[in-house]
Every structure is written in C-alpha cells, then in structure tokens.
Chains A and B, each alone.
Chain A
Amino acid sequence: MAESIQGPLVKLVDLHKEFRTKQGTLHAVDGVSLHINQGETLGLVGESGCGKSTTGRLLVRLLDATSGQVFFRGTDVQSLNRTELKKFARKAQIVFQDPYSSLDPRMSVAEIIGEALLVHKLYTKGKALRQKVESLMDYAGIASRLINSYPHELDGGRRQRVGIARALALEPEFLVLDEPVSALDVSIQAQILNLFEELQDELQLTYLFIAHDLSVVKHISDRIAVMYMGQIVELGDADEVIHNPLHPYTEALVSAIPRITRSTEHHRIILEGDVPSPVNPPSICRFYGRCPVRQDRCRRPVELLEVEPNHYVRCVLRETA
C-alpha cells in the first residue's frame, strides 16, 4: 500500500460503470476523472439518473466499477480483497438520502450506531460501548435519552442524525453524503448542513456532497462538479461555477437557484425536453438535444478541458475561447 501524504485523498481515473438492462447497456458513469483533496468538500450536482449516486457508491465500493480506478490515498479501492475492504470501511463511510429506508427498523438507535464498532472489534458490548454511542449521538446532535428508541419513533431529522452518527462511528476520514438533506424539511436541511460543516471543522473530514440542487451545494462546497448523463460537464471552484458558469447546463442550473431579490436581469433558463436515455447514447455532445445555444459543430464528441485556471468544462463552444 503506497501511501502518499501529498496528493489528493481521493482520485478517480476514467471511471466507468455500466449496467446491463433489457434495452441495452446503460452507461451510468461514463469516464469520470476527478480528485478530492484532504479536508475539502466536493459538491457533485446533477439531475436524477445522471450517475452521481452511482459515482458515490463506487467511491466506497458498494459497487464494482466496469473499468477505471478509484484511488484512496494512492491505493486502488477496486483491488482490495475482503479483509482490506473491511479496513477500508473504517476510512470511508456513506450517509444515504432517505432516512427512512437507511435505518434497520428492527434495531434500536444504540444497536444501529454501535454495530460497526462491534463488527470491527473496536468495542465489546458493555458500558464503554454505550458511552461511545452516546458521545457519537452528542456529535450528531441527538439527545442521548433516545438511545433505546427505534427508528420509527424518530422524525426525519433525528433519523438522519442517527445515520450521521452511524457513519461517524468508525472515525472515517472521508464521507460520501448521498443527497443527505433532500428528504428533509427545509428548516431541518439547514440544521443538518450546519452540522456537516461543524463536524468537518472538528474532525477534519473530507466530503463528497451529492445533491440535485445547486442551492444546497453552493454554501457547503469548496469545489463543485456538475454531472450530466454520466459525464462531468463542468468542474471548478464553487464561486467560479456559481458566478461564472461556462457550460450551458450549469447556467440553467444556476438560473434555477431561487433568489429573494427580484431583479429584472435575472431570468430562468427553462430547458426543453427530457434527459435522453442513457442507454447507447450517440457519441456527440450529450447535452446537444436540450442545449439552448447548440450549433452544428457540436455534433461531435467533446472532452473536459481546462479553459480557465482550475475551471474545467466540456463544451465545444468553449474550446476556442
């Protein structure tokens, strides 16, 4: 295991994930390359079915990639055997979107949070484990009197906090947050987002924050990656992507962020049509069919290029600029 202190914590190299369906091969993730630096939050944005959750699951190896590599501290996650994978679970964890289906209904809060500690033999059943669970609940902001409750007795926000405490139990360095607030009420969303930021400061965590909504991601992320049909179409610093979007798709997403002030300049870009089927897509710009500024020269494959310093975009129109 080559561990490099320098370099990114997580690195994806030309990652592909295909699913076989009856209609043909579905390219859920189609050549994604990116890195996540230690201590930063990378926001991954895109609409339903664009492959962002699949990317997150590939990162913690809940799925096996079709091709390409996932490096964690320089180690290829895909090549880990079962014992190594168990060790890897202590470094990278995941928080799921739906706090209702992500908690085992037959386990109490104590069991849900403590299970990983028992499985990894860090604790044995007893007082010490209970104290550890209580301190994790404290981190996640759940009252410790709820330690013997069952998931169905908790509301959505508390359930999600249990999910977070569970992910923190193994003291990971890296968390995949798979739409962790999109199933919650707006008022609770803000609380949970703040919780993530506090935890990051306190525990030096690195996040991959997946969302379908730029307004959620823009505050918490250092950098933002925008995904469309399995490909990264834009990647850059959060401010850059929000204030200076270079891809027409990102522009449309940015224009959809609700604003309080009414300005005459602001107009929403409404995309026409639907996302085309990701089964056997044509080898031209994936956004061509829905792009408001498409031109004939867009009918060819496009690469992700660094058009401004640390700002990458996949668009024919930006290639010459």
Chain B
Amino acid sequence: MIRYIFKRLLSLIPVLLGATFIVFAIMFFTPGDPATIMLPQDATAEDIAMMRDFLGLNEPFLVQYRDFLLRLAQGDLGNSFRTGQSVLGLILSRLPATMQLATASLVIAIMIGLIAGVVAAVRQYTVWDGGAMVTALLGVSMPNFWLGLMLILFFAVFWANSFGYTLLPASGYGTMQHMIMPAIVLGTAHAAFITRITRSSMLEVLRQDYIRMAKAKGLSPFKVVFVHALRNALMPVVTIIGLRFGVLLGGSVVTERIFAWPGIGRLLIDAVRAQDYNVVQGIILTYAIIFSLVTLGVDLLYSFIDPRVKVRYR
C-alpha cells in the first residue's frame, strides 16, 4: 500500500510538468506585455525595455521555461509582477477560502445526490423518481453563473425590496450566511450528477439476487437498501465524485468571481487579465496538485469500499 502511494506520487511529476508547460506556452504566446501593464501610463520605451529585461521576458521561450522549472525545484514560485508579493504567499493566503467553498459544496452535493438517487431508484417510475430526474436534468443544465445571479436576485435583491432586510448577503466572505449561496451554486451540478449516477448504479444492484436474499433473510427494507444495496452501488458514485472534482475547481473560478469570494479562483482571473505569469502558473500548479491528490484519494478509497480492489495495489 505504501509502495503504491509512493508510485502514484512519483507519477505526479510528469503530470505537473505537462500542466505547467501548457500554461506557460499559452501565457507566452498571448499578445500583451506584462511590463507595460506594470509600469505607469507615461513610461518611456526605454523604461519598458528595461523592465522586460529585468523580468527576464526577453529570453527565448524555452530558456524562460527552464528558469521557471529551476526556481520551482527550489520551492520558489516567484513574485507577482503586479504587486511584488510572493506567489506562494498569495496562494496560501487565498487557498483556505477556496477549500472551504469546495468542501461545503461537495458535502451539499453528496448529501442531496445520494438521498435523491437512492429514493429515485427504490421508487423507480414513481412521482419521486420522475421529480428527482427532472430536477437533476435542470441541475446539470443550469450554468452556474446564471444560477448564481438568479439566487442573488431573489435572496438578496428581491427579498430586501419586499421584506426590508436581506435574507442572504449578495456577496463577500466571513460568515456561514456568506457561504450558503456560493456553495449551492457550485454544488448544484454535482448534486445532479451524483443523483443520476447513484440512481442507475442502485437500480443495477437492486436487481441482484443477494438483495432478494437479504429480504428473504428478514432484513428490514432500510437495511436492505442502505447496508446491502448502497454499499455496493457506491463504487461508480465515488469515481464520479473524484472525476468531477476537476469540474468543481473550474466552477469555483466562476462562482468566486460572482460572489466576490476571496479564493484562488478570483485571484486567477485577476492574474490572467494582468498577464501576471508567475501567479497564473502558481495557481494552475496548485489546481493540478489538488486534482491529482483527490484522484489518488479516490483510488485509495476504493479499497475500503470494495474488498475486491485490494488485490490491485501492488
């Protein structure tokens, strides 16, 4: 098991190399000049040239990329072109907010998704099933920027106009109330996905003879569904949750923007607009690491869910 984890961590290196290379290339070939953005409006051409030289922007692409990797190997992500702060420090100060939001929305999505999926499967072809499926379809179809704006309109703007107080703050960070809307917005699509996958996986399992047998043994329907059926149906659900975590991170960029949430997603957008290479690189690297670790976690989780998987960890 330890060996397996070590091997998986080693395989992270090429993944991260690939991710940084792609981002570096995109930033490099995008028109625009960070030096111009950094300097005041009235900077002379010499000033700009000097700045470019100072930042190392005149070097060829591969040389710049190599320098970046060398610094990275020493744990140095560089400084922000824009503010001069250390990129690592910037990310570390913003990361907790993003993780809070991601965790909260994932918890909401899993709770709603599992319950709705199980109910839909157990009550197949009833109103419950139909309702859950229609809601799930709506959930995956609604873009989260639109849903976010609708929620703000209703709970903050409309509510304040009608009742004289705001039910939920329109944006910002700090209290539980601030978290509710962004977490719902970010979690909706995932709840919908989890509902659908749970339902189909449960339907598959409920047909098995060991479920009939559990009933014949005299187990209560609750135990049949949750002890025998759900445990066996969980495999594809966990896979989907892991895979969709990347989408969740992507969604958090938009959601953080809408709700002025001080996470790395909003930091990323600001950095991209300012062509702040180092910050963009650092954040993409952070996303890649988080996603890879989540995937590893999911793979390790399999062995707890299914005794058949343990064999594969060699």
Contact = CB atoms under 8 A, between A and B. Distances in A.
- Tell whether A and B belong to one assembly: yes
Interface of A: 57, 60, 62, 85-90, 93-94, 96-98, 101-106, 108, 115-116, 119-120, 150, 152, 163, 166, 170
Given A104-B210, A105-B306, A119 B218 contact: yes
B215 interface: yes
B52 to A, nearest CB: 61
Given A106-B231, A170-B217, A96 B209 contact: yes
Contact of A115 (B208, B209, B212, B217): B217
B218 A106 contact: no
A121 B248 CA distance: 45
B207 to A, nearest CB: 8
A86 B214 CA distance: 11
- The number of chain B residues touching the other chain, given as a range, is 10 to 19
Contact of A102 (B209, B223, B232, B308): B209
Nearest to A60: B216
Interface of B: 208-210, 212-219, 223, 228, 231-232, 305-308
Contact of A62 (B208, B215, B228, B305): B215
A85 B209 contact: no
19 contacts: A62-B215, A85-B218, A88-B218, A94-B213, A96-B209, A96-B212, A97-B209, A101-B209, A102-B209, A102-B212, A104-B210, A104-B214, A104-B232, A108-B307, A115-B219, A116-B218, A120-B218, A163-B213, A166-B217
Contact of B218 (A90, A101, A152): A90
Given A115-B219, A163-B213, A166-B217, 18 more contacts: A57-B212, A87-B218, A89-B216, A93-B216, A93-B217, A94-B216, A97-B209, A98-B209, A102-B208, A103-B210, A104-B210, A104-B228, A105-B307, A106-B231, A106-B232, A150-B307, A152-B307, A170-B218
Contacts of A94: 212-213, 216
Contact of A116 (B212, B217, B306, B307): B217
A102 B209 CA distance: 4
A163 B213 CA distance: 9
B217 A89 contact: yes
A107 to B, nearest CB: 8
A51 B212 CA distance: 17
Nearest to B209: A102
Contacts of B210: 101-104
Contacts of A152: 307-308
Contacts of B228: 104
Contacts of B217: 89, 93, 115-116, 119, 166, 170
Max chain A CB contacts within 10 Å: which of B213, B219, B228? B213
Nearest to B212: A62
Nearest to A82: B220
A106 B216 contact: no
Nearest to A100: B209
A101 B208 contact: yes
B215 A106 contact: no
A152 B210 CA distance: 14
Given A102-B210, A119-B223, A62 B308 contact: no
Contacts of A89: 216-218
A105 B210 CA distance: 9
B213 A119 contact: no
A163 B209 CA distance: 11
Nearest to B213: A102
Contacts of B223: 119
Which 8 pairs show the lowest CB-CB distances between chains A and B? A89-B218, A102-B209, A86-B218, A116-B217, A96-B209, A104-B210, A150-B307, A101-B208
Nearest to A97: B209
Which of B215, B216, B218 is most buried by chain A, counting CB atoms within 10 A of its CB? B216
A106 B307 contact: yes
A163 B305 CA distance: 22
Contacts of B219: 115, 119
B264 to A, nearest CB: 38
Contacts of A150: 307-308
Contacts of A108: 307
Looking at B228, B231, B307, the one whose CB has the most chain A CB atoms below 10 A away is B307
A106 B306 contact: yes
A35 to B, nearest CB: 22
